[in-house]
A = this chain, B = another copy of it.
């Protein structure tokens, strides 16, 4: 691999994924399809309304998700992954896989250290 560091676009992708809640929000939408604001809020444990709104807006700005407002009272707003947004799936999958392996890697490292100390 030879990506010229000066022309690096990794951060452009990274910028979309970071934020304490974005990957989880995306996974929920990818798994369950269209979701209402309140459904997401219930699914993403611990998130505040402000944070959820903010993350959703940012994802919407990048065309990763779509927001549809129904003119009703009480309001109904639905969010879903766009076709374009689906192009992130392989990356999320790769990161998940790497992350899963990395968890094991760290575990092994920790056990090794513990073993060494007790000997």
Contact = CB atoms under 8 A, between A and B. Distances in A.
A39 interface: no
Interface residues of A, number: 46
Interface in A65-107: 84, 87-103, 105-106
Number of this chain's copies in the complex: 2
Nearest to A64: B102
A62 B95 CA distance: 15
A99 to B, nearest CB: 3
A46 interface: no
A10 interface: yes
Interface in A1-44: 1-5, 8-14, 16-18, 23-24, 27-28, 30-31, 43-44
Contacts of A8: 23-24, 27, 96
User: Residue among A23, A43, A84, A105 with the most chain B CB within 10 A?
Assistant: A23
